[in-house]
Structure 1
Amino acid sequence: MPPRFHCTPPEAVAETVRETVYVGDYTFRIDRPADSDRVLDHPWVRSAYAADGYVPYWPTLWPSARMLAKAVLREPWETYPQPVRVLEIGCGLGLAGVACLARGLQVTFSDVDETALTYAAANARLNGYPEGFRTRLLDFRCPPVDAKYPVVIGSDLMYEERLVNPLVRLLEAVLAPGGVCLIADPDRLPARVFRWKLQEVGYDVVSDFARAGEPGGERTKGTIYRIRWNG
């Protein structure tokens, strides 16, 4: 089937707030919709779900995005072949991609929602990175065939089991041989199926404990899946 993209209507985002996000020694500023529940209540969302099973989860700064940003900032990128090109799948507000930019990487923010890409690009510029990135609409049920990336990242992508097989096929399409993929997940049950499926088709998968949250607030436990394709 052809890809199906979405665009959350601007009127669904009544107000934007700027959040300060602390990740290790780094501080980022992230603009996001002030009320994600209000976005979900918009009539357009009901239509998008009825037509395509789509729910715009991008307006929320999820704990897994913080986990992934922490992992990205700790990764020894200087040992990778340069320049390091990164594809962020389902970028949402773009926190992890911005963390990549902070480490000097070249980033492609991708999402199925055009409005999410607008926020991710704006957040990159807000943090002082007017260059070094691009955006791309991507429906991971329809993997692109025109590019492979040595690094692929994503967070909280498997909130339903129906998304597992498409995600595995996407990695087969976009992850370069010898490349690495980092996926952060808050230990949802579909992530276990995701790991089994990856191993079935020949990926090496290593799980690392992760934890993230706001300073002084509740911290969420999860897992960073380090996935390598040696094909």
Structure 2
Amino acid sequence: MTPQPFLHTTPDELLEPTVETVIDIPFHTGNIRQFRIVLPTSIDSLLDHPSTHAAFAQDEYMPYWAELWPSALMLGRALAQQPWPEGIKVLEVGCGLGVTGLIALALGMEVTFSDYDAAALKFAAKNAQINGLRQFHTLPLDWRYPPKNMTVPLILAADVIYESRNISPLLNLLNTVMGPTGECWLSDPDRPQKEEFQSALSEHGFAFEAMATTLERPQQPLVKGTVYRIWREH
């Protein structure tokens, strides 16, 4: 039997109540922009629900999308420090709450939020709308099965190589979707797969710049990580 993409929909009754937080992002222009982020109040109810247990049994699914991860903030801050062409088309992979995509939208990009959980797309769209951002699309996507009819100059991915099994599918996605002169910007909190990932990039014909970064937040531990700029070697 041919393997099929895995897509999931977290039941609506698990998406309430919600909480709103505000993040501050410094831009290359010198101004600091605030973004409102709505997210589920607690991930515990999602973890304990039978639909999550069933999805985990089927594909080791976990509702990681419902957290505001440090890597998303790291990647968003790195993006905001660069000038980008107006209207550049972007695919955000595993968008979760859409934090990185929001910052890309604020930079004038046209963003496609993608995730394998429809609830994540719902929250990403809501977060874009409450921040007055409209140039976006949503795409249900298991990125182990890249869309064959899409090519973009920029792919964004935050904290997607948390397991070694994710590395090969990610590189396949880049080969399939990233334009010939395109780039992928990817953030990782220096998980144990760091060296494996870097070796795999080189072995598959990708060049990269690894930018060490830290994230400081009030009353939160310091997080160290890496933002990668990845492109094809020619």
Fold-level match, TM-score > 0.5?
Answer: yes
| 2:102 match: secondary structure | helix
1:6-27 per-position Cα deviation (integer Å, ceiling 9, x unaligned): 1111122331001111122121
Residue 77, structure 1, aligned to residue 84, structure 2: yes
1:147 pairs, out of 143, 147, 150, with 150
1:36-64 per-position Cα deviation (integer Å, ceiling 9, x unaligned): 12211111111100011111100000000
Report the counterpart of residue 88 of structure 1 in structure 2. 92
| 1:189 match: secondary structure | coil
Cα distance in 2 for residues equivalent to 1:192 and 1:27: 34
Q: CA deviation at 1:194?
A: 1.8
Report the counterpart of residue 183 of structure 1 in structure 2. 186
Q: CA deviation at 1:144?
A: 1.1
Report the counterpart of residue 55 of structure 2 in structure 1. 48
| 1:157 match: secondary structure | coil
Letter in 2 for 1:126: I
Q: CA deviation at 1:146?
A: 0.5
Report the counterpart of residue 108 of structure 1 in structure 2. 112
Report the counterpart of residue 220 of structure 1 in structure 2. 223
Matches within 5 A, 1:121-136: 121-129=125-133, 131-136=134-139
Cα distance in 1 for residues equivalent to 2:217 and 2:90: 26
Report the counterpart of residue 68 of structure 1 in structure 2. 75
Matches within 5 A, 1:184-203: 184-203=187-206
Report the counterpart of residue 206 of structure 1 in structure 2. 209
2:40 pairs, out of 33, 55, 60, with 33
Q: CA deviation at 1:136?
A: 0.4
TM-score between the two structures when normalised by the length of structure 1: 0.94
Structure 1 stretch displaced more, 150-159 or 11-20 = 11-20
| 1:72 match: secondary structure | helix
Q: CA deviation at 1:191?
A: 3.1
Letter in 2 for 1:83: G
Cα distance in 2 for residues equivalent to 1:12 and 1:46: 14
1:167 pairs, out of 170, 181, 188, with 170
Letter in 2 for 1:84: I
Query: Structure 1 vs Structure 2: percent identity of aligned residues?
Result: 41
TM-score between the two structures when normalised by the length of structure 2: 0.93
| 1:77 match: secondary structure | coil
Across the two proteins, how many residue pairs are aligned to each other? 227
Report the counterpart of residue 2 of structure 1 in structure 2. 4
| 8 Å Cα contact 1:179/1:230 also seen in 2 | no
Q: Which runs of 5+ in 2 are unaligned?
A: 27-31
Cα distance in 2 for residues equivalent to 1:191 and 1:48: 28
Cα distance in 2 for residues equivalent to 1:142 and 1:174: 11
| 8 Å Cα contact 1:177/1:230 also seen in 2 | no
Q: Which runs of 5+ in 1 are unaligned?
A: none
| 8 Å Cα contact 1:212/1:220 also seen in 2 | yes
